[in-house]
Structure 1
Amino acid sequence: MSTTSSSANQTSRAYLACVPHVPLTSVQERKDNPDFWRAYDERVREFREFDPDLVVVFGGDHYDGMHLKLMPQFVVGQVAEALNDCGGYPGPLNIPLDIAGRAVNHLVEHEFDVAASYAMEVDHGFSNVLHWFLGELNAKPVLPIHINSLVDPRPTFRRCRLLGAEIGRFARTLGKKVAFLGSGGLSHQTDFIFPQFHTAPNEDVKEYIVHGGARGGAISRDKWMQGIREGMDKLSGQLLDGSFHASWINEAWDRQFLEVLASGNLERFDSWTDAEVLKAAGYGGSEVRQWIAAAAAHQAFDRGATLHIDYYSPDTTLAVGVGVVHA
């Protein structure tokens, strides 16, 4: 937890946590990864002790609420509902419309061409983290910010850092206790589950990822989400019995990312390229954009804060490089 000393905003304080949103956290029992949950639960305890007035969560979608018919790079939710997808928790988010609207205007005034949604549908990329930290999704005022980490082309790492920093500066003007949450995994592969348009295995999948079942194709959204549930259940069983090993986890890359993040010199990410990250960390590793944005937001809110790496392991049954950090 960090505090600020500005006499103009004595009530302004900030908290940061970056954690995975991998669906297997909801599929498997806690005893399967006790060290991870020990670190995670400590962050939740700190968060609840901090008792924020506003939670800013940087997350992403997985072809559940957003599709290729129109995939914006950045979306600030004004009104949002969480879907009942695998690893997710359904229900409305408690978004303060005045703050959400001011956030969009602030970003536009600072030359960010962001989208605003008054009917935003979010999946486990947001609701998984909000569930574990809040309990009920609408228990606290939340500002959800979507960063496209799934679909070609993705925003640059520099742009994600700059966006996060601007959100942090905006949040600093509110005179509130603000918690920033970064939701995503480290190295992992997702392209076989969530293909690109040009890698879709057949026309039915291509139709779904573009239109989300809205045109009555062979795959409805319910069928898509059910397929993901069945796939995750199968993968979880194989990970638990040792018949499958997540060979895509790149421990060296994960540790390098965490070292740069913890250094506080977030500008070092500006030179990272999408192609290099995809090659080293898989399509799922693209989700570190959410962590970079959240850390940049917190840093802009309070430049004196120190980020701590609480947990990392490439050896879990969660199929991702799993990290937990806080400030």
Structure 2
Amino acid sequence: MSAYLQCLSHTPLVGHVDPLPAVLDEVAVVVAEARQCIEQFDPELVILFAPDHYNGFFYDVMPSFCIGMAAHAIGDFGTAAGPLSVPQALAEACATAVLEAGVDAAVSYRMQVDHGFAQPLQLLLGGLEQCPVIPVFINAVAVPLPGFQRARLLGEAIGAFARTLNKRVLFLASGGLSHQPPVPELAKVDARMADRLLGSGRNLPADEREARQQRVILAAQRFTEDQSSLHPLNPEWDRQFLDILGEGRMSELDGLSNQQLSALAGKSTHEVKTWVAACAALSAFGPYQANSRYYRPIPEWIAGFGALSAQPVA
């Protein structure tokens, strides 16, 4: 029984709007080192906490949390497409344990996921099916949103379950840090877009998906030139957040409201709740120590881009 943690920002913009080569090389080194550490740990099970961007979860039914019994990546922005290697019996046992711990989480036997799930599996494990993975969705864009405390309790429940498995378990978190790309909001869109958010966007025609992706790419290009065109990145808050997680002080975030977080760091910063859940899961194995961390604001990717790894002290 052992555990390892890796948190990593994701970006659909890599290869579409990129920073200077020196920054790309820097990020590549961070990813390569994280992948090497994961290879050395040799996980038998991955539990991946990630958000969605109105590609798999919609307002027809929008859970705060959902545990996948099976999952398929759509391949948006050129990321890997296809099935994830989900061990159904283990995923079912995990969902049962979470509910018994008092945390309400939906389940899906047909989970559709996007780059938020696919990219970390691709970059850190070499593909979608390289290791058994239980995908855990945390709603980070569709109000009403779960708060930090609920995300922490979800992670603690999943960590307690993982401790019973007698396996090497890798907790992955994908998303964040400060950012606010152009994500539609149900209260502010026209009837056609509202219909997409209500569920018809689940299987977009290829031309419409391409147009949607181009809007994000153009927004990133504008943001690179004029960082007042979107909510600004907040490196100070990002670094404070990394300090809190690196020191295992997740409960300090319980009192930070969703409205406060959006104002501080942008409406898509709620993706950092995946990091909180993953760190809380690791904490179920006892006190932990951060091994490495990385941070750089990257306007080209509309993101405060970060990474954090840790493992139990004992």
TM-score by length of 1: 0.88
Q: 1:186 to 1:272 in 2, by over 3 A?
A: same
In the alignment, structure 1 residue 293 sits paired with structure 2 residue 277: yes
Task: Give a deviation string over 1:252-277, Cα, whole Å, max 9, x none.
Answer: 11112111111212111111110100
1:230 paired residue number = 214
Aligned partners of 1:78 and 1:116 also within 8 Å: yes
In the alignment, structure 1 residue 175 sits paired with structure 2 residue 166: yes
**DSSP 3-state at the match of 2:283:** helix
Distance, in Å, in 1 between the alignment partners of 2:149 and 2:276 is: 9
Q: 1:64 to 1:315 in 2, by over 3 A?
A: closer
Residue 155 of structure 1 and its aligned partner are, at CA, apart by: 0.6
RMSD of aligned Cα (Å): 1.9
**DSSP 3-state at the match of 2:96:** helix
1:220 paired residue number = 204
In the alignment, structure 1 residue 194 sits paired with structure 2 residue 194: no
In the alignment, structure 1 residue 304 sits paired with structure 2 residue 292: no
Opposite residue 231 of structure 1, the aligned amino acid is R
Q: 1:235 to 1:196 in 2, by over 3 A?
A: closer
Question: Which of the residues 121, 129, 149 maps onto 1:130?
Answer: 121
2:112 paired residue number = 121
Q: 1:16 to 1:259 in 2, by over 3 A?
A: same
Question: Which of the residues 193, 196, 210 maps onto 1:208?
Answer: 196
**DSSP 3-state at the match of 1:27:** coil
Opposite residue 307 of structure 1, the aligned amino acid is A
Task: Give a deviation string over 1:107-129, Cα, whole Å, max 9, x none.
Answer: 11112221110011000110111
Distance, in Å, in 2 between the alignment partners of 1:109 and 1:75 is: 15
Residue 33 of structure 1 and its aligned partner are, at CA, apart by: 2.2
Distance, in Å, in 2 between the alignment partners of 1:222 and 1:272 is: 39
**DSSP 3-state at the match of 1:132:** helix
1:8 paired residue number = none
Distance, in Å, in 2 between the alignment partners of 1:88 and 1:150 is: 20
In the alignment, structure 1 residue 22 sits paired with structure 2 residue 11: yes
Q: How does 1:266-277 map to 2 (within 5 A)?
A: 266-277=250-261
In the alignment, structure 1 residue 326 sits paired with structure 2 residue 309: yes
In the alignment, structure 1 residue 251 sits paired with structure 2 residue 235: yes
Residue 29 of structure 1 and its aligned partner are, at CA, apart by: 6.1
Aligned partners of 1:33 and 1:317 also within 8 Å: no
Distance, in Å, in 2 between the alignment partners of 1:136 and 1:18 is: 17
Question: Which of the residues 26, 40, 64 maps onto 1:49?
Answer: 40
**DSSP 3-state at the match of 1:286:** helix
Residue-pair matches, total = 306
Residue 232 of structure 1 and its aligned partner are, at CA, apart by: 3.7
Opposite residue 119 of structure 1, the aligned amino acid is R
Distance, in Å, in 2 between the alignment partners of 1:222 and 1:86 is: 12
Distance, in Å, in 1 between the alignment partners of 2:132 and 2:104 is: 24
Opposite residue 243 of structure 1, the aligned amino acid is E
Residue 54 of structure 1 and its aligned partner are, at CA, apart by: 0.3
Q: 1:273 to 1:87 in 2, by over 3 A?
A: farther
Distance, in Å, in 2 between the alignment partners of 1:325 and 1:142 is: 20
Distance, in Å, in 1 between the alignment partners of 2:59 and 2:239 is: 32
Residue 237 of structure 1 and its aligned partner are, at CA, apart by: 4.8
Distance, in Å, in 1 between the alignment partners of 2:231 and 2:142 is: 22
Moved over 6 A (4+): none
2:86 paired residue number = 95
Opposite residue 180 of structure 2, the aligned amino acid is Q
Moved more, 273-282 or 107-116: 107-116
Aligned partners of 2:234 and 2:265 also within 8 Å: yes
Aligned partners of 2:54 and 2:201 also within 8 Å: no
1:166 paired residue number = 157
Q: 1:22 to 1:33 in 2, by over 3 A?
A: same
**DSSP 3-state at the match of 1:62:** coil
Distance, in Å, in 1 between the alignment partners of 2:127 and 2:293 is: 25
Work out the percentage of aligned pairs sharing the same amino acid: 35
Residue 166 of structure 1 and its aligned partner are, at CA, apart by: 0.9
Distance, in Å, in 1 between the alignment partners of 2:248 and 2:59 is: 35
1:7 paired residue number = none
**DSSP 3-state at the match of 1:86:** helix
TM-score by length of 2: 0.91
Residue 225 of structure 1 and its aligned partner are, at CA, apart by: 2.4
Distance, in Å, in 1 between the alignment partners of 2:200 and 2:138 is: 19
1:3 paired residue number = none
